[in-house]
Each structure stands twice: as structure tokens, then as C-alpha cells.
Amino acid sequence: MFRNQYDTDVTTWSPTGRLFQVEYAMEAVKQGSAAIGLRSRSHVVLACVNKAQSELSSHQRKIFKVDDHIGVAIAGLTADGRVLSRYMRSESINHSFTYESPLPVGRLVVHLADKAQVCTQRSWKRPYGVGLLVGGLDESGAHLYYNCPSGNYFEYQAFAIGSRSQAAKTYLERRFESFGDSSREDLIKDAILAVRETLQGETLKSSLCTVSILGVDEPFHFLDQEAIQKVIDTFEKVPEEDEGEGEADEGEAEAAAAAPAEQGGGAGAGDQDVAPMEM
């Protein structure tokens, strides 16, 4: 995308009918580190890559609990994401208070989308620079939605956003048809494998990813590091250090990413040009 004379204000249309500021906001989502969501009929798993600015700092939180039955993973400007998570928590708790019943996730997502749309139609505002993967339950079961800075939202069986998400999406595209009937454990494994795809060669360790799950009989919660490592161990035969990438048991070893693993420490290739506020 190149600069042009129609991209200064969010309220200026281009002659071809585009709002460039909104599209630039969507670019910000692509710069953030990856977040992945997938769902079965009864469960939703949200996973993300944890990248810290430097070895000295902690990593940014990208997955938030909105309510017992709704969680959200973000990619892009995490500050915007935090604010929207707070809004979602507020909506959810207000609904619970008035109706003593959980807010259906489909309705929350529409509120969120309408809020984002407002920022695309006011000259004194800017669009939110964060994409949200919202997973939650309603009367008809488990759902996964993606909310865009443009104010659009879509429902997905599985999706990935952020940098190098295309690799995860390719993996998910191959497997998504079986997700509907997946067991809880298989769903978690698929999520972690999808996260591995975005690391592109780096060895997968439980410290690099955060995984959360919610389901029809299971309130939203994070999986602890040991549980994640156990799942990783089932398909990474050889633990990291020197060896080439461990072969996956199940035959999903791709010929593609067969590069020898570097040490996990230090940022990966494309991260030097990421602005400090984005993760």
C-alpha cells in the first residue's frame, strides 16, 4: 500500500470507494504477534504466541477472560485490545446482573462491532488497531468470531490473526472439517500445532505460547505450562537444543519447515521492525 491523498482522514473516501485509514488499521493487526482460535461443537480454544520485547521484560498478555463463558485473544495494538476487553467485561457483567443469565457471545460481538464502526465514521476518532478473536458460548453451543477494526465480524470454525498467521491458517484449513466433533484434547493439540506453524522453525516450548479453553461444562481458564508442555511432548520427539526439528508423530511433519532449529532465545527474523507498542 502506498501513501495517497485520500488516506489522511478516516472520514475521507477514496475515489475507488475505500477508507484507507481503516485499511491501515487492519495492517496494524497483521503486525501483532499471532493469535489462533478454533472450536468444536462444545469447546473453544484460544492460543497465542508470547513474545517479549527483550529477555529482561515479561511478555504482553494477549488473551483475556471476559466472563466464565467468553474469552478473547487479541493481535495488534494491545492497549486498544485491553480497553475493548474491559468494555466486553462490562457488557457481560451488566447483562448477567440484569438477567442473571450469561450474555450470548453472538450479541456481545455485535456490540463490539458497532463500537468499532463508530470509530470509522467520526473525524475526531481513529479506528481501533486491534483484531479480536472472541470465543464463547450461547444457547446453540460454542462459537468463534473475529472482530475487525473495520467494524466487520465473521464467525469461524478456526482462524488465526497476526504476523505469520498464514502458516497457521494453512494448517487449520487442512484440518478444520474435523474440529466440530473433536474431543477437548484434540482441539488443544491442534491449537498448539497451529501455534507451532507460526513459529516457522523455532522450537516450540510451553514458555512461548499461552493456551486457554472454555466449553459447555468448563468455564474459561488458562492451561498451565506443564499441561501445555505435556501436549508438546507428544509430538516433539526430541526436545530442543541442537537437534533438527523434532518429527511429529502423527505425520503432520511438513517437508516445508525442515530448517534446523535455532535456539529459542532472541527475536525471530521479522520482529526488529515491529513498533514497541505492538506485540
Residue 107 C-beta: closest distance to another protein, Å: 6
Nearer to another protein, 141 or 201 (CB): 141
Nearer to another protein, 104 or 127 (CB): 104
Nearer to another protein, 57 or 101 (CB): 101
Residue 103 C-beta: closest distance to another protein, Å: 9
Nearer to another protein, 144 or 204 (CB): 144
Nearer to another protein, 106 or 201 (CB): 106
Using alpha carbons only, how large is the chain's radius of gyration in Å?
Answer: 19
Q: How far apart are CA 171 and CA 165, in angstroms?
A: 10
Nearer to another protein, 63 or 103 (CB): 103
Residue 250 C-beta: closest distance to another protein, Å: 35
**Number of residues counted as binding another protein (CB under 8 A):** 12
Within 10 Å of residue 6's Cβ, how many Cβ atoms? Answer: 15
Residue 40 C-beta: closest distance to another protein, Å: 18
Nearer to another protein, 139 or 273 (CB): 139
Residue 93 C-beta: closest distance to another protein, Å: 14
- Could you write out the DSSP letters of every residue in the chain? ----TT-S-TT---TTS--HHHHHHHHHHHHSPPEEEEE-SSEEEEEEE--BSSTTSPBPP-EEEEETTEEEEEEEBHHHHHHHHHHHHHHHHHHHHHHSSPPPHHHHHHHHHHHHHHTTS-TT-----EEEEEEEEETTEEEEEEE-TTS-EEEESEEEESTTHHHHHHHHHHHGGGGGG--HHHHHHHHHHHHHHHHTTSPP-GGGEEEEEEETTEEEEEPPHHHHHHHHHHH--S-STTSPPPPPTTS---STT-PPPPPS-S--GGGTTS-TTB-
Taking residues 85 to 124 in sequence order and writing x for each that binds another protein by CB under 8 A, - otherwise, the string is ------------xxxxx--x-xx--x--------------
140 is a contact residue toward another protein (CB under 8 A): yes
217 is a contact residue toward another protein (CB under 8 A): no
What are the φ/ψ torsions at residue 155 (nearest 5 degrees)? -100, 145
174 is a contact residue toward another protein (CB under 8 A): no
Residue 265 C-beta: closest distance to another protein, Å: 47
Among 138, 186, 240, 271, binds another protein (CB under 8 A): 138
Residue 95 C-beta: closest distance to another protein, Å: 9
Contact residues for another protein (CB under 8 A)?
97-101, 104, 106-107, 110, 138-140
